[in-house]
Structure 1
Amino acid sequence: MAKGDLLGEFELYVLAAVQQLDGEAYGITIADEIERRTARVASLGSVYATVERLADKGFVAFHVGDAQPERGGRARKCSRITPAGRRALVASVRAFDRMVDGLPVRPAATPRR
């Protein structure tokens, strides 16, 4: 896998959030998902910039979501992960896993809910 295919830490968080949100990912939902799962505050500016960078790399694509129910509500620009994004996510998680393999700080696996 090429060097550019591995994700930076925040790119990994954003792309994982897009995957977790399954087609309903837009700025605030991505930021909320990152904060909920990592306890790290993600500014909307950082999220938007990272999503755009991931789109430039071909890792996410956009679609227009439903308009907001309030009068004059705008449609949301939602993100979804692409097949290339899924490959980059898997490769990055595996690379990180290899890096921490054998370290005494490696967390024990937790059961899925």
Structure 2
Amino acid sequence: MKEKFLGEFEQMVMLAILKLNDNAYGVSIRDMLIEAIDRDVSVGALYTTLERLEKKGLLTSSQGEAIAERGGRAKKFYAVTGQGKQALNRAKNALDTLWQGVQLSKLARYA
């Protein structure tokens, strides 16, 4: 069976996690996405995506220490698995192949 491709938002979430490295938790991921795409990212959409990617085995999560600043709650940190990195690589390769030969100047009239 062929692997399913990642959706655009799934790719963005996973790339943000890779960039954040050991500091990838909900708020930091959301902040990076908002800065990168210049639009709001709902908390619900983000956490739904994180849960889905974790169920697919593309992410893992771990609990940090509970801290007083968070009302005694712990942060949940995320990391991309080897399988997740492979899925990202497949998606990148597919997009690179599709973009080959596309002339952006011809797309300007649609902007």
- TM-score normalised to the size of structure 2? 0.83
**What is the distance in 1 between the residues matched to 2:70 and 2:46?**
27
Q: Does 1:95 align with 2:91?
A: no
Structure 1 stretches of 5 or more lacking a match? 107-113
| Equivalent residue, structure 1, for 2:108 | none
Q: Does 1:81 align with 2:80?
A: yes
**What is the distance in 1 between the residues matched to 2:69 and 2:32?**
24
CA deviation profile, 1:76-110 (whole Å, cap 9, x unmatched):
1111111101111111111111111221229xxxx
**Letter of the 2:6 counterpart:** L
Q: Based on CA coordinates, which of the two structures has the bigger radius of gyration?
A: 2
CA deviation profile, 1:31-59 (whole Å, cap 9, x unmatched):
11112122232111100000001001100
The structure with the largest helix share of the pair is 2
Identical aligned residues as a percent:
38
Structure-to-structure mapping, 1:1-113, within 5 angstroms: 2-4=2-4, 6-70=5-69, 72-105=71-104
Which of 67-76 and 32-41 deviates more? Answer: 67-76
Structure 2 stretches of 5 or more lacking a match? 106-111
Superposition RMSD in Å = 1.9
**What is the distance in 2 between the residues matched to 1:33 and 1:51?**
15
